[in-house]
């Protein structure tokens, strides 16, 4: 009996010691962020549903509403495996049954659910089409995203929402998502609602990034709808703003950790600027037949990339979360099939798809990103 009690006591002692060690390890983890795990973030280009895209979603729904999931299925393996996935929702949502494409876009709200089910966690909503249906369009869009569980940044329904910071969890990190646009196609901001759409303002953008840090963000991601349409190379505004955003600091570290560009309709270069990755333009992830500024059909308008970045925790308290792997994945929206194609997985697509993949690769790497470690992923 005494031996049995001694055995029990020894087991209890071992269990308590293990628990104490575990608690001590957890306390050490909380004090030393390097013990936390890293995360992957993916981001993609504009979702721009032209009338043909809306018609495809209706056909895919077999007469019952609109189903955008099949056309997004080609991106789902990459998007769903990320810890955090961000998209660009370029259009607003219309009243049920009142939908339109170019030039004034109003899209079915079902696309929000499809994006969420594909694996996206949030979207930028600041674009030149944010006011295509006035303040009501913004309200409907954000309500549909809320219902789908899709976070959003760049437009707002109230002053309080405009002041708030969109922060999402990715592994052990808190990631802030901010978004801005170069304009709204000449449409004035709603009367009395100057906060409805975030417009590009370098001073404000940097102040917002610093506010996100104060709100607890470990990583700050800025989406910018900018650039010159149909131009492969970033324009002077993009280059100047990128340098300014990436040079800003707060608390001894950069104010911005990643810049995601959209709007140009074509893939543009990725570049490391002041130690921070800038994606000047990811192209259109979903769009109908595209016509350039010369009025000619331009297949580049259906090309895009997904950026994928692996972040590692700081090596010391208060340090920066570091990008340890940078990748881009070339995509193509097949207008005829109404499907996104991952060009690195379409190995049986023939020479044409190979040439398309290589053209996108050359543009993405055109500003020397390969020397900083950017690689083409799958």
Report yes or no: 276 and 253 within 8 Å, Cβ to Cβ: no
Predicted local distance difference test score (pLDDT) of residue 347 = 61
- What tokens does 94 get? 């219309």
Instruction: Kindly state the DSSP code that residue 94 receives in the 8-state scheme.
Output: P
Report how far residue 111's alpha carbon sits from residue 321's, in angstroms, rounded to the nearest whole number.
32
Between CA 73 and CA 30, with CA 173 as vertex, the angle to 5 degrees is 145
Helix, strand, coil tally for the chain in percent (to 5): 35, 30, 40
The Cα–Cα gap between 180 and 259 comes to 11
DSSP character string of 180-237: EES--TTPPPPTT-TTSBPBP-HHHHHHHHHHHHHTT-SEEEEEEE-S-TT-SS--HH
Each domain of the chain, given as residue ranges in start order, spans 1-31, 37-376
List the beta bridge partners of residue 197.
155
Return the SS3 of 121: coil
Q: Residue 215's closest CA among 180, 267, 188, 178?
A: 178
Q: pLDDT tens per residue, the chain (378 residues)?
A: 334 334 433 333 433 344 444 343 333 333 334 447 899 999 999 999 999 999 999 999 998 999 999 999 999 999 999 999 999 999 999 999 999 999 999 999 999 999 999 999 999 999 999 999 999 999 999 999 999 999 999 999 999 999 999 999 999 999 999 999 999 999 999 999 999 999 999 999 999 999 999 999 999 999 999 999 999 999 999 999 999 999 999 989 999 999 999 999 999 999 999 999 999 999 999 999 999 999 999 999 999 999 999 999 999 888 999 999 999 999 999 999 999 999 988 766 566 899 999 999 999 999 999 999 999 998
Residue 3 confidence (pLDDT): 40
The pLDDT of residue 107: 98
Q: Are strands 270-273 and 322-334 parallel, antiparallel or unpaired?
A: unpaired
DSSP 346: -
* Residue 338: C-alpha distances to residues 231, 309, 329 (Å): 25, 28, 19
pTM attached to this predicted model: 0.90
Residue whose C-alpha is closest to residue 87's, from 48, 40, 50, 134 = 48
Q: What is 37-376's CATH number? A: 3.60.21.10
Residue 20 is predicted with a pLDDT of 41
């Amino acid at each position: 009996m005494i031996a049995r009690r001694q055995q029990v006591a020894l087991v209890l002692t071992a269990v308590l010691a293990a628990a104490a060690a575990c608690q001590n390890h957890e306390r050490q983890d909380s004090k030393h962020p390097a013990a936390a795990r890293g995360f992957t973030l993916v981001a993609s280009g504009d979702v721009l549903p032209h009338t043909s895209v809306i018609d495809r979603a209706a056909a895919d729904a077999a007469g019952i509403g609109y189903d955008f999931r099949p056309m997004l299925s080609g991106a789902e393996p990459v998007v769903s495996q990320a810890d955090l996935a961000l998209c660009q929702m370029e259009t607003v949502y219309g009243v049920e049954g009142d939908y339109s494409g170019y030039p004034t876009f109003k899209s079915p709200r079902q696309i929000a659910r499809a994006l969420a089910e594909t694996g996206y966690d949030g979207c930028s909503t600041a674009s030149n089409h944010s006011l295509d249906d006035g303040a009501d369009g913004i309200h409907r869009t954000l309500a549909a995203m809320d219902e789908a569980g899709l976070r959003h940044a760049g437009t707002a329904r109230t002053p309080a929402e405009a002041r708030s910071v969109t922060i999402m969890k990715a592994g052990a990190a808190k990631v802030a998502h901010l978004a801005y646009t170069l304009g709204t196609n000449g449409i004035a901001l709603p009367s009395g609602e100057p906060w409805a759409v975030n417009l590009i303002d370098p001073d404000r953008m940097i102040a917002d990034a610093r506010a996100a840090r104060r709100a607890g963000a470990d990583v700050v991601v800025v989406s910018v709808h900018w650039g010159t349409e149909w131009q492969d190379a970033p324009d002077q505004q993009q280059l100047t703003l990128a340098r300014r955003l990436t040079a800003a600091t707060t608390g001894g570290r950069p104010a911005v950790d990643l810049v995601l560009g959209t709007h140009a309709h074509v893939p543009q270069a990725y570049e490391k600027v002041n130690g921070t990755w800038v994606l000047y333009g990811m192209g259109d992830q979903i769009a109908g037949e595209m016509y350039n500024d010369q009025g000619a059909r331009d297949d580049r308008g259906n090309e895009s990339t997904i950026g994928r970045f692996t972040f590692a925790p700081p090596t010391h308290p208060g340090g920066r979360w570091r990008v340890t792997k940078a990748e881009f994945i070339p995509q193509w929206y097949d207008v005829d099939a109404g499907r996104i194609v991952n060009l690195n997985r379409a190995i049986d697509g023939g020479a044409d798809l190979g040439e398309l993949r290589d053209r996108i690769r050359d543009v993405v790497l055109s500003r020397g990103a390969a020397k900083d470690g950017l690689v083409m992923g799958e």
